[in-house]
Structure 1
Amino acid sequence: MNVLFIDIDTLRPDHMGCYGYGRNTTPNIDAIAREGVRFDNYYCSDAPCLPSRAALVSGTFGIKNGVVGHGGTAADRFREGITREFRDNRDDWNFHNIFRRAGLYTASVSTFPERHSAWWFQAGFQETYNEGHTGMESGEKVLPYALDWLDRNGTKKDWYLHVHFWDPHTPYRAPESFGNPFENEPLPDNWINSEVFALHKQHVGPHCANEMNMFNDDPCPQWPRFMGRIDSLEDVKKLIDGYDCGVAYADQLTGQIFDKLKELGIYEDTAVIITADHGENLGELGIYSEHATADHPCCHIPLVLKWPGGQKGHVDQELHYNLDLVPTMADLFHVEKSDTWDGVSMAETILDGKDAGRDSLVLSQMAHVCQRSARFGDWLYVRSYHDGFHLFDREMLYNLKIDVHEQKDVKDEHPEICARGAKIILDWQDKAMTESPYTQDPLWTVMKENGPYHTWNSLPAYLKRLEETGRKEGADKLRERYAKQLK
């Protein structure tokens, strides 16, 4: 069997047609969904980019593999230590090696390993192609490598090809020649009204409406779809148009790969996996154009999977992690599984439509904030250890059934739900630390190493900016909360 893995960075399911979005952003992926299985409640266990792919590739939570942040000690895997032999055992049991164990020839087109010095991502691949712009390229630079590889290898039997597009990732780098197919279309989900936006303009924290460029409003002329600041509802639309253009552009490129499979006569017999590393904050919690939190918009990701002989047009509603994909592929290819994996196989869902989900999930983010969240039933319970300078409460609770954009924190009305969420996180942490060969929860490594990487050395200058832009009250609250750090 042949397997094509399309890896689209920063892709929110609710901005895809097959997940109900009102804009025609993903017609090519939508067609795959009609031919396969769409997973509606699929989440990355650890966000954003680097921790998510570390979990996917290892089949283990960040608390066990050590990669939970974007800098410092917790951006590298734990050393295997005394059990390490000639090679690191974890590389032999990683996601990509499942396909080699099954006898497939493996190749990847991705700049991710160099972008994050995550060379372990390449383990299991027999060929790798690095376009060379470390994740800042748009997809027309990536596509030729994939099409050329298929021209040379597509009609051979038993291969696995991983192709990675970055286009929906900030700064929304779809080329200007793509235009804006949504320019004259209103936003399908226009939840950011004038009242909501007025609150966002007073928000404190990086990547808010006043500081789109992390801690300042400097524009990026080379990326015209991305703005330094948002001053109006028209700007909000322009920004979301830019994101949707990135989604649509990645879909268009993906469609050319599908066309190549059809041209070669191998489409029907090729399995197709389409997913992402994380989503994107598009106004939720006052944050724009960043993947900065351990919540629904940031951790909820698509999984669309076409499997020859599997279900067609099936929709799965169960809760799953991205690391569940590792044992799933092992089961589908009938290869040995590692007892170190944390994933639960979804193979029966793909083949027979049977439920194989979980009762709850724990979601983690340590790059922009330090948060752990419990996702269960209709609820999202968020616990913040470092708020990333957003002045989040220690606990937050949202009913996603009626408040998917997390606008109303209902913790005071439902203390019993908060207690349940906190227990889910505590029980998960106890189990993970009991099973882990390491003694340190990397969350606390991040906390002891000056907090999340994307907040390092930025607070004094940001406090000054807040005062200069009419948000002195927020600056005073940050000074009080981070008094020790400012000494």
Structure 2
Amino acid sequence: MKVIYFDIDTLRPDHLSCCGYGRPTPHIDALAADGVRFSRAYASNTPCMPARAALFTGCFGVVNGVETHGTAALSVATPPETALPRVLSWEGVHTAAVSSFGRHPAPWFYNGFSHVIDPSYRCRAENFQRFPGAAVNEAAMDFLDGFCGEDLFLHLHYWDPHGPLSPPPEWIDRGYEPDTSAVTDEQLTRLAASPLYRGGRHTGVRSRRELAELLRLYDAEIRYTDHLVGQMCAYLKKRGWYDDCAVILSADHGEQYGEGQMILEHGTVHDSCIHIPMLLKLPGGAHRGEVCAHPVYGLDIAPAAARFFGVAAPEMWHGTALQDTLDGTAAPREYLVCEHGLYTCQRAVLQDGWKMVHTFSPGLWDFAEYALYHTEEDPRETADVKARYPEVLARMQALEAEWLERTLHGAPDPLARLGAENAQHGLRVAREVTRRLRADKEQ
């Protein structure tokens, strides 16, 4: 059995044509047509380090201890023997990663992988995040050319859609105008004038045209990565593996392009940040072309991967195998809880078209302690309606308390502590950049 996991950094599902976007991503679309698209997939924890810690430990950040970046994320609190790569390796599965993510630095990322290939070294990149995804494919194919085993879990990590954006020029399409309507004129005016970190002054966005140009570059990065996915799928077909293997495609988080008071950043629990793509191609073409609307987490990938190899998931894992959600073996989740710990410190509860945001630390930004969005009517999360629906807010607060009790069993809430101390990573940098921007204006 072979499981191939395409991990595309900073990929918003609403920029894929299989999810309704107007620009083509034909190879990802083809993968979706060969499998299942989960339309309501969310990262339990964001951004990069909390998301991958949740996936590879199988546990929420409040349990694995990674709620933010920096020194607070250098180790995980969960037992090392329960990490997905080690669980698989101990059962005889070859586990390989083509990724530079361990240099984030995230030393726990290496736990259990029998092979780790860092493509950033192979192409002499000056920064572990700044190298073309073609280097990932080259390294992966070199490895697979020499692979003679049966069972393989292969993690392929592409950084390309992550900012700063520098797509290969041939993938930039000047012939279309990106849709910027998710940001209202009022929001854009405030953003353009904002001296805050990742505001208009910091990112150089002073107009809708400049916001559109950023989105044009983002779409080019996605089209380039789509091309790379197509290359790898073609390779799997050439080797005769594609039909009988499982393929998963997802992301750690999305990106904000004006939503949530930020541009070219992932800094809140707005859907533009926490809503992720999730595609699953099953062996033999089962469930081909289906769309599953049941809510799932990124950390559901861990039990799904274990299931393909007939390996039992550790009891402490919080995920549900995607296969069980798809087949109805597991009851659909009644609600989701998503957490964020970069620049701001927030927790979201999502249920039945409603979303409550609990802000423990707004950082530099203007976020109330609680906000309530009716996402069915307001998918862009522009109107806080908690004053109109106090009973819904109370229900969502009760769900948050229920989740904490079930997950922590009475232990203190680590996210609340992080927010109370304003200890989320990036806030110091955000303050310094904002201070400089304000000082420049005053001169």
1:251 equivalent to 2:223? Answer no
From 389, 392, 410, the equivalent of 2:367 is: 392
The answer to whether the aligner puts 1:138 opposite 2:135 as a matched pair is no
Matched, 1:3 2:9: no
Which residue of structure 2 lines up, in the alignment, with residue 30 of structure 1?
A: 29
What's the CA shift for 1:466?
A: 3.5
Say yes or no: does 1:118 pair with 2:128. Answer: no
Distance (Å, rounded) in 2 between the aligned partners of 1:357 and 1:279: 24
1:337, 1:355 → 2: CA distance? 15
* Contact 1:44–1:322 under 8 Å retained in 2: yes
Instruction: Give the counterpart letter for 1:209 in structure 2.
Output: G
Q: Distance in 2 between matches of 1:460 and 1:114?
A: 25
CA contact (8 A) 1:281 1:288 kept: yes
Q: Percent identity?
A: 34
2:151 is the counterpart of 1:158 = yes
CA distance in 2, matches of 1:100, 1:189: 45
| Residues 242-294 of structure 1: per-residue CA shift (max 9 Å, x gap) | 11111111111111111111222222112111011111112112211111112
| Closer/same/farther in 2, CA of residues 328 and 292 from structure 1, 3 Å limit | same
Label 1:31 to 1:196 Cα distance change in 2 as closer, same or farther (>3 A): same
**What SS does the corresponding residue of 1:241 show, helix, strand or coil?**
helix
Query: 2:314 corresponds to which residue?
Result: 338
- 2:83 match: 94
Give the aligned CA root-mean-square deviation in angstroms.
2.2
Match of 1:69?
68
Alignment of 1:138-287 (within 5 A): 138-153=132-147, 156-176=149-169, 178-181=170-173, 183-188=174-179, 190-203=181-194, 205-212=196-203, 229-287=204-262
What's the offset of the Cα at 1:402?
2.4
Range that drifts further, 34-43 or 303-312: 303-312
CA distance 1:101–1:458, shift in 2 (3 Å): closer
Tell me how far apart the structure 2 counterparts of residues 464 and 151 of structure 1 sit (CA, whole Å).
51
Deviations 1:213-239 (A, max 9, x none): xxxxxxxxxxxxxxxx10111101100
C-alpha distance in structure 1 between counterparts of 2:195 and 2:40, whole Å: 30
Question: Relative to structure 1, is the Cα distance of residues 461 and 252 closer, same or farther in structure 2, using a 3 angstrom cutoff?
Answer: closer
Taking the aligned partners of 1:313 and 1:355, their CA distance within structure 2 comes to: 21
Count of residue pairs the alignment pairs up: 435
Supply the distance in 1 between the matched residues of 2:77 and 2:181 (Cα, whole angstroms).
Answer: 47
Contact 1:205-1:391 within 8 A present in 2 as well: no
The corresponding residue for 1:15 is 15
Counterpart amino acid of 2:93?
A: L
Q: How many angstroms does 1:187 deviate by?
A: 2.2
The residue aligned with 2:115 is 127
Contact kept, 8 Å, 1:7 with 1:274, in 2: the verdict is yes
The change in CA–CA distance for 1:274 and 1:387 in structure 2 (over 3 A counts) is same
Provide, for residues 151-186 of structure 1, a one-character-per-residue CA deviation record: whole Å limited to 9, x for no partner. Answer: 222x6422221110000001123233x3412x2112
Distance of aligned partners of 1:449 and 1:91 in 2 relative to their CA distance in 1, 3 Å threshold: same
CA distance in 1, matches of 2:146, 2:344: 45
**Residue 367 of structure 2: SS of its match in structure 1?**
coil
CA distance in 2, matches of 1:161, 1:119: 18
Distance in 2 (alpha carbons) for counterparts of 1:192 and 1:433: 37
Task: Tell me, yes or no, if structure 1 residue 316 matches structure 2 residue 269.
Answer: no
Q: Which ranges in structure 2 are unaligned for 5 or more consecutive residues?
A: 122-126
Instruction: Report the alpha carbon displacement of residue 369 of structure 1 after superposing the two structures with TM.
Output: 0.5
Q: For residue 270 of structure 1, what is the amino acid of its counterpart?
A: C
Task: Report the equivalent of 1:103.
Answer: 92
Q: Distance in 1 between matches of 2:42 and 2:430?
A: 30
Give the distance between the partners of 1:466 and 1:379, measured in 2 at CA: 37
Cα gap change, 1:142 to 1:17, in 2 (>3 Å) = same
Are the counterparts in 2 of residues 278 and 298 from structure 1 also a CA contact under 8 Å? yes
- d(CA) in 1 for partners of 2:242, 2:76: 40
Match of 2:124 in 1: none
CA deviation map 1:71-99 (0-9, x unaligned):
243x233556xxxxxxxxx3322222343
| Cα-to-partner distance string for 1:123-158 (whole Å, 9 max, x where unaligned) | 2211110123422222122221012122222x6422
Relative distance call for 1:466 and 1:356 in structure 2 (3 A) is: farther
Q: Label 1:359 to 1:204 Cα distance change in 2 as closer, same or farther (>3 A).
A: farther
Give 1:401's match in structure 2, choosing from 370, 373, 376. 376
Q: Which moved more, 1:449-458 or 1:251-260?
A: 449-458
Deviation at 1:409, TM superposition (A): 1.8
Between the aligned partners of 2:158 and 2:315, the Cα distance in structure 1 is 32
After superposition, the Cα gap between the structure-2 partners of 1:79 and 1:199, relative to the gap in structure 1 and judged at 3 Å, is closer
Match of 1:328 in 2: 304
Q: Structure 1 residues 252 and 362 mapped into 2: Cα distance closer, same or farther (>3 Å)?
A: same
TM-score (norm. length: structure 1): 0.84
Q: Which amino acid aligns with 1:384?
A: T
* 2:434 is the alignment partner of 1:462: yes
Name the stretch that deviates more: 137-146 or 229-238: 137-146
What is the one-letter code of the residue matched to 1:100? S
TM-score when normalising by structure 2: 0.92
Query: Partners in 1 of 2:201 and 2:180 — Cα distance?
Result: 22
- Cα 1:356/1:146, change in 2 over 3 Å: farther
**CA–CA separation in structure 1 for the residues paired with 2:155 and 2:233:** 13
Separation in 1, partners of 2:247, 2:10: 19
Measured after TM superposition, the shift of residue 203 of structure 1 is 4.2
Residues 284-340 of structure 1: CA distance to partner in whole angstroms, max 9, x if unpaired? 122111111123111111110101143111111111111222223333332222111
- What secondary structure is seen at the aligned counterpart in 2 of 1:211? helix
Among 420, 444, 447, the alignment partner of 2:419 is 447
* Structure 2 CA distance for partners of 1:102 and 1:174, relative to 1, 3 Å: farther
